């Protein structure tokens, strides 16, 4: 076991991990932050996306030991300070960007990374950025619409399909 320390959603946390402990497992099992989901074994679904030092990574494909000393942001840290949903989360609710909700934490974290890099993406850019986030329910359309709306763009022309 090795001791790791990291800043998760603004708080310093530490724990003892095995070499093989994934960042996703550390967050879920050690820290109780179960908003980060594990949807596959093949690094393809994106349900586990968190931000490490400001960029989107698949927490199922990074070792907890590699995140020692890093700043990690998860879905639990996304709401506004008063507990209300942040602009991306609210847009997902307003535009029906989720159904079962399993993919949603990863979708919101990917969307947040996209809007940080590219505050006014085109619909095509949103779709390309979400290549590594799989949703089995929505057909993506309303997810794209929600992210476009969260970026402050007019989405009335995007039909709800």
Partner 1 sequence: MYNFDVEKPGTIAEAAAAMGADEAQALGGGQTLIPTLKQRLASPSKLVSLKGVAEMQGMGKDGNTLRIGGATTHATVAADGSYPALSALASHIGDPAVRNRGTIGGSLANNDPAACYPAAALASGATIVTNTRQISADDYFQGMFDTALEEGEIITAVSFPIPQAANYQKFVQPASRFALVGVFVAKYADGVRVAVTGASNEGVFRWTEAEAALSTNFSASALDGLTVDPDNMITDLHGAAAYRAHLVKVMTGRAVTAAG
The residues that touch partner 1, with contacts defined as CB under 8 A, are 2, 18-20, 22, 41-44, 46, 49, 55-58, 60-63, 65-66, 110, 113-114, 129-133
Could you say whether residue 34 binds ligand FES (CB under 6 A)?
no
Partner that binds at residue 67, options ligand FAD, ligand FES, partner 1, none, CB closer than 5 to 8 Å by kind:
none
| Chosen residue from 86, 90, 99, 153 binding ligand FES by CB under 6 A | 99
Q: Taking the complex as a whole, how short is the minimal distance between the CB of residue 83 and partner 1, in angstroms?
A: 28
| CA-wise closest residue to 17 among 72, 62, 75 | 62
- Nearest to residue 128, comparing CAs of 161, 74, 118, 40? 118
Distance CA 125, CA 136 (A): 21
**Of the candidate residues 4, 23, 27, 45, the single one contacting ligand FES (CB under 6 A):** 45
CB of 57 to partner 1, least distance (A): 5
34-to-2, 74, 100, 143, 156 alpha-carbon distances in Å: 22, 10, 16, 22, 34
The CA-based dihedral angle spanning residues 24, 128, 124, 39, taken in that order and rounded to the nearest 10 degrees: -40
Nearer to ligand FES, 17 or 22 (CB): 22
- Report strand pairing: 2-8 vs 71-73: parallel
Tell which positions 50-109 bind ligand FAD, by CB under 6 A: none
Q: Which does 23 bind (CB under 5 to 8 A by kind): partner 1, ligand FAD, ligand FES, none?
A: none
Residues in the chain: 161
- The site for ligand FES (CB under 6 A) is made up of 38-40, 43-48, 58, 60, 98-104, 135-138
């Amino acid at each position: 076991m090795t001791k790791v320390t990291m800043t998760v959603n603004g708080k310093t946390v530490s724990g003892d991990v095995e070499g093989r402990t994934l960042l996703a497992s550390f967050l879920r099992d050690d820290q109780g932050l179960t908003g980060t989901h594990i949807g596959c074994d093949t690094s393809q679904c994106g349900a586990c996306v968190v931000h490490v030092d400001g960029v989107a990574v698949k927490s199922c494909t990074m070792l907890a030991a590699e995140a020692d000393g890093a700043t990690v942001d998860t879905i639990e840290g996304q709401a506004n300070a008063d507990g209300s949903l942040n602009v991306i989360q609210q847009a997902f609710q307003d535009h029906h960007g989720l159904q079962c909700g399993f993919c949603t934490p990863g979708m919101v974290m990917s969307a947040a990374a996209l809007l940080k890099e590219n505050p006014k993406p085109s619909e095509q850019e949103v779709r390309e950025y979400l290549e590594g986030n799989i949703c089995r329910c929505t057909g993506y359309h309303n997810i794209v619409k929600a992210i476009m709306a969260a970026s402050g763009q007019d989405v009335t022309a995007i039909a709800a399909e």
